[in-house]
Structure 1
Amino acid sequence: MTNRVLLVPLFSLLLALPSWAAVPSDDPEKKTADDEYSVNTFYALLVAEMAGQRQLYDVALGNYLLESHRTQDAGVTARATQIAQFIGADQAALDAATLWVKLDAENPLAQQALSSELVKAARFSESALHLQKALDLEPMLNVNFISLQGVDMTEGSRELWLESLTPLVSRYKENQALLFNIASLHQQQNNLEQALTICTELLKQHPDFYPAWSLKARLQATGQDFKGAIKTINQALKTFKQDKSFSLLKARLLIKDKDIKQASKVFAELHEQHPNDAHILLPLALTQLELEDHSAAKLSLQKLLNLHQMQSEAHYYLGRIEQYQGNDLAALNHYLAMKGGREYLAAQGAIINIHMKQGNHSQALNHIRQQRTIDNENQQAYFLMEVDILNRSGEYDASLKVLNAALKAYQDSTDLRYSRAMVAEKLGNLDQLEKDLNHIISLEPDNATALNALGYTLADRTSRLDEALVLIEKALQLAPKDPAILDSLGWVYFRMGKLKQALTLLEQAFALFPDAEVAAHLGEVLWALEDRAQAKAIWSKALNKTPDSDILKDTLLRLEVDL
């Protein structure tokens, strides 16, 4: 019995690696000149096998690389390539794949392996050449490495890779995997039109190629063609009837197309087919909630609880329904039953609101302070919630103490600093406000919210109008349609005496967001322009909507206006 015969079962002990290659051929023409392995070679490979089992991959790779060069055996070299690729040793993989092709040039897997490694080395033309050789040898070869390689590429490298691959599209149009991967590469490059063209052609030739339907629909959705994407999925469902993935995609596309009613219908049909699937029940409940069918939504969410799946999500949305219907105690019980999840923090805010609505200020504070002791991951959020409770009660000095303590632990938290700046403004401490907002801007020069807040405060509370204008204009460049920034810019123009410019901006802000502060500013500009009737109309409407607005009351008192 030769060492080669012994080696075949030995390979079965090797690492669980993704395989490019099969066991080397016994074709006499492909045997190495040395037909028998030396004892040293056999021992080295045995050590490599054992090292692989113990996850000592560097030892396994080292031995295989050494023996591949010593023996010039295609099978050993194939395995060396596999190991190198598995552990991400790119240079070793390129070396092994190059030798593998030299030893076994007619093996399509060898050519593909070398093509893959050449891509990593940014040798795109050479890579495409070896990929073409692989496809000439095996026209239907699976080439999924193409799109996988593209994920980590720069945009420039991906474009060069695509240029090298483009000629292969027409040459191997029967290879579904090739066309699909090149379309995926175009998708990564945001070449939606090219990707769609390839997908459409692929589906004409191979209408039963499942992945292409999904890719085409996603491409259309990326281009905001939701109706086209839905049409694509409907076509796919004619071939793949009642396919769960396609039906789910259709429902999500319908939501993007704002057809919530039809999306809910699709989720309901899916629920009938898969009654115990929580990933169908939850979106069904959410669409029912969106449609204000609270009874149906509660039923779906209760089913989730009965399935013991997505418990926190179910409790959260049940809590929202109960709260909407005025059942605060039932809502509170649902929120308190949550054990985590994406909505957990939102639930804590809801708990605070319920306590505050019931006048339980101390209970709200105790709850949030207790949360801070048991939930280390959301400390900053709980500090901010505590500050919100104190601010709503007008306890700004207490808020400042909480924020000072929080910022000792989270010195560069922009949220905490912004909150302290707003509290400082309430306390009339403009130096602290300016210090905190400037600190935020030093950390985040493009923070439009901080730029606007500082600019507005300078415009409203100081004579530093030119400085305020620069800050607000920069904020507006960053967020051109933000009504709060438009309001600030209008206000600084008003303070500069540029009433016409102020009026234009404040009217834009009011059209986007007619809140009490914008109404106060717009009314004051109109009042200064002698349009007293329009000013009074705006103030009256705003007061009816928000009768407790301090800024409206202060404006009317300052201007001695009687509505």
Structure 2
Amino acid sequence: MKCSSPLLFALCVSMFSGWPALAHSATEEGKQVEQTELIRLRAGELPAVTLTSDILFRVLSAEIGATRGYYDMAGQTLLQLATETSDPRLAKRAFQFSMADRNMARALRAAREWALLSPKDPEAVASSLALAASSGETTGLAGALWERIDKAEDKEQAIAQASAIVGKMPDKELALEVLEKALHPSVLSLPVSHLALADAAWAASDPYRALEEADKALALAPDMEPAALRVLEYGMKVDPDRAIDGAREYLQQHPEARKLPLVLVNRLVERNDFDGALALVGQMRNNAPEDFDLLYTEAEVNIRAQRYDQAKALLEEYISVQTQRRQSLRDDATSAVADSSDARLLLVQIAEKQNKPHDAIAQLDKIDDPSLQFQAQVHKAVLQARLGDLGRAQATIDTLRPSDDHQRSVLALTLASIYREAGRTDRAVEILLQADKDIPDTTEIKYDLAMLYERQGRMDEFEKLMKRVIELDPDNANAYNSLGYTYADQNRNLDEAQDLLERALDLDPDNPYILDSVGWYLYRTGDLEAAIEYLERSYKQMPSADVAAHLGEVLWVTDRRDEAVDVWRQGHEQEPDNETLVKTLKRLGVSLK
């Protein structure tokens, strides 16, 4: 049987080169051959098997099938061949195809066959152990990992591989136990052992043990930056002040460190210690004056600190540096174009925070990174609409030439949103109806169109379209939430609302919009204490006027009226014309004056 293409010819050569023409037999001589084959396999040699036309045909059929996406057939065929021929190459290929097919059970069988046939191949053994771990099969795993570590010439690499293998176990506490047993006392003098234990403890939600192991690693290797990083990161959960002081001490002794100071800057910003973060960035700039990326970092910190003038000056300096890079090097030889565009996006962000939309538009027009220009012009149209110039916004959208259906849907959704915010709901509906015809079964378009129907009071069309969204995208939490909330708000179909909101909550349990809907549903069904719990959780994450209206109403009817008024006042300060809040106060006869 001949290979009929260069691709298949290459496959023939790679797969079958070295196959001798020696067949197995059932005779005594055959048994001796089999024993010899076992010895050869253990020595890392390939088996002696006759390359028959049947074997060649089955291998080629599997490979051709895989190129067409039939990984199931390919994996089964090659795994069977691997057991028949004892060739580890076929087992490896069966493993690869089974992984592509996401058939973990067969992938594990193939990996074990591969490791059995090629026990000296570290990739084969690691694949077998990792799949066993991810499947929760841990019997003997610690012993197998220790055997690999003990025999390895590079102990650190073997420990790192063991850490990666146990990291695939679904039970993280058990993973830590397995790793503890696999790391015998003889390797605990290696810092990497304690780093591995620290990471496993962290994954098992034990920050105290994670910090303890990270401290041990740093004590064994005081110059090791990865250990210092873990002491900082894990220590922030245990004793943040100690963790920060320890990182500062390390940096005094190792001013050349790069990753640790950047992480420390982020942690200081999270604690609103902007002066400390800026002082640290200043030290980094003194130590590495040629590192102009630190200008960008310093600008980001200033933005978080709302020191916008300082941030703008730094970003303009950064853009100037990138412009010089572009002038001295070809655009394809530098990241200057992308870096300058990223800086301009930050300037856009600053302009919007300072309520200077014209400045933001000017920056958007200067963005010349091809990958960002579409996004920039869409944002420009939104800003033009906010300025009340719908004509310019429409013209900006019309000048864009979308390259695919995704960009076409973005344009339709953006334009519809512009007209909706301008109070022209009918025009927004027209845009999305046309888009729905042009790009059918796009769930984002159908979802927004359904929400417009709801705003217009066209409830039958809203329900029909939202159910179609759920049919097309069964994991769309927003669709379940929108339909469930609407039923709850209208105090109808409450059983169906419960099912919809439970599904939404399963998909996105911390979403404040969903928490608000669940709270409102519970209010409708009379479970007031549970309603308050969910609404307070929502309001903590998203203190909007809509949630304030709901939470305030439940507090009001449970005779916690002072609290209700406080919540309503907070919502009114944020959005005095909010329709939900205004209607709630009017219905309950409450004045905030």
TM-score range, shorter chain: 0.5 to 0.7
- Structure 2 counterparts to residues 64-103 of structure 1, below 5 A: 94=115, 98=119
- Secondary structure, in 3 states, of the residue corresponding to 2:463? helix
**Residue matched to 2:223:** 208
AA in 1 matched with 2:186: R
- Structure 2 counterparts to residues 506-545 of structure 1, below 5 A: 508=536, 512=540, 515-518=544-547
**Residue matched to 1:175:** 190
1:130 matched to 2:159: no
**Residue matched to 1:254:** 268
Change (3 A) 1:56 1:506: closer
Change (3 A) 1:207 1:485: closer
**Residue matched to 2:71:** none
**Residue matched to 1:291:** 305
AA in 2 matched with 1:134: K
Q: Distance in 2 between matches of 1:526 and 1:185?
A: 45
CA offset at residue 332 of structure 1?
0.9
Q: Distance in 2 between matches of 1:121 and 1:526?
A: 52
1:326-350, Cα deviation, whole Å (9 max, x unpaired)? 5433321211222459987875564
- Structure 2 counterparts to residues 5-404 of structure 1, below 5 A: 59=13, 63=17, 94=115, 98=119, 116=126, 119=129, 122=132, 124=141, 127-128=144-145, 130-131=147-148, 133-134=150-151, 142-143=157-158, 146-147=161-162, 149-150=164-165, 153-155=168-170, 159=174, 163=178, 166=181, 168-181=183-196, 183-184=198-199, 192-221=207-236, 223=237, 226-308=240-322, 309=336, 310-340=339-369, 347-348=376-377, 350-371=379-400, 373=402, 377-404=406-433
Asked if the contact 1:77–1:96 (Cα under 8 Å) also holds between the matched residues in 2, the reply is no
| Aligned mate of 2:486, from 440, 444, 457 | 457
Which deviates more, 529-538 or 319-328?
529-538
CA offset at residue 215 of structure 1?
3.5
Change (3 A) 1:296 1:153: same
- Secondary structure, in 3 states, of the residue corresponding to 1:332? helix
Q: Distance in 1 between matches of 2:124 and 2:249?
A: 39
CA offset at residue 66 of structure 1?
7.1
Q: Distance in 2 between matches of 1:535 and 1:152?
A: 48
Change (3 A) 1:430 1:306: same
TM-score by length of 1: 0.68
AA in 2 matched with 1:315: R
Which deviates more, 405-414 or 312-321?
405-414
**Residue matched to 1:438:** 467
Asked if the contact 2:454–2:462 (Cα under 8 Å) also holds between the matched residues in 1, the reply is yes
Change (3 A) 1:230 1:57: farther
CA offset at residue 243 of structure 1?
1.3
Q: Distance in 2 between matches of 1:127 and 1:506?
A: 48
CA offset at residue 423 of structure 1?
0.2
| Aligned mate of 2:445, from 416, 419, 423 | 416
**Residue matched to 2:3:** none
CA offset at residue 419 of structure 1?
1.2
Asked if the contact 1:503–1:526 (Cα under 8 Å) also holds between the matched residues in 2, the reply is no
CA offset at residue 361 of structure 1?
0.3
AA in 1 matched with 2:277: A
**Residue matched to 1:9:** none
- Secondary structure, in 3 states, of the residue corresponding to 2:158? coil
AA in 1 matched with 2:307: D
Asked if the contact 1:230–1:250 (Cα under 8 Å) also holds between the matched residues in 2, the reply is yes
Asked if the contact 1:147–1:182 (Cα under 8 Å) also holds between the matched residues in 2, the reply is no
AA in 1 matched with 2:151: A
Q: Distance in 1 between matches of 2:131 and 2:492?
A: 61
CA offset at residue 216 of structure 1?
3.6
Q: Distance in 2 between matches of 1:186 and 1:393?
A: 53
CA offset at residue 301 of structure 1?
0.7
* Structure with bigger gyration radius: 1
Number of residue pairs the alignment of both structures matches: 493
- Secondary structure, in 3 states, of the residue corresponding to 2:457? coil
- Secondary structure, in 3 states, of the residue corresponding to 1:153? coil
CA offset at residue 302 of structure 1?
1.2
CA offset at residue 391 of structure 1?
0.3
- Secondary structure, in 3 states, of the residue corresponding to 1:359? coil
- Secondary structure, in 3 states, of the residue corresponding to 1:394? coil
Asked if the contact 2:515–2:535 (Cα under 8 Å) also holds between the matched residues in 1, the reply is no
AA in 2 matched with 1:131: R
| Aligned mate of 1:429, from 458, 479, 483 | 458
CA offset at residue 427 of structure 1?
1.9
Q: Distance in 2 between matches of 1:237 and 1:252?
A: 15
Q: Distance in 1 between matches of 2:530 and 2:209?
A: 48
Asked if the contact 2:198–2:211 (Cα under 8 Å) also holds between the matched residues in 1, the reply is yes
Q: Distance in 2 between matches of 1:83 and 1:500?
A: 64
Change (3 A) 1:154 1:251: same
AA in 2 matched with 1:199: A
AA in 2 matched with 1:302: E
Which deviates more, 159-168 or 395-404?
159-168
AA in 2 matched with 1:262: G
TM-score by length of 2: 0.65
**Residue matched to 2:84:** none
1:331-382, Cα deviation, whole Å (9 max, x unpaired)? 2121122245998787556423431233210211222343352576544333
Which deviates more, 274-283 or 356-365?
274-283
- Secondary structure, in 3 states, of the residue corresponding to 2:446? helix
Which deviates more, 165-174 or 533-542?
533-542
Q: Distance in 2 between matches of 1:148 and 1:450?
A: 40
Change (3 A) 1:376 1:488: closer
CA offset at residue 389 of structure 1?
0.4
Which deviates more, 193-202 or 181-190?
181-190
Change (3 A) 1:353 1:93: same
Identity of aligned residues (%): 23
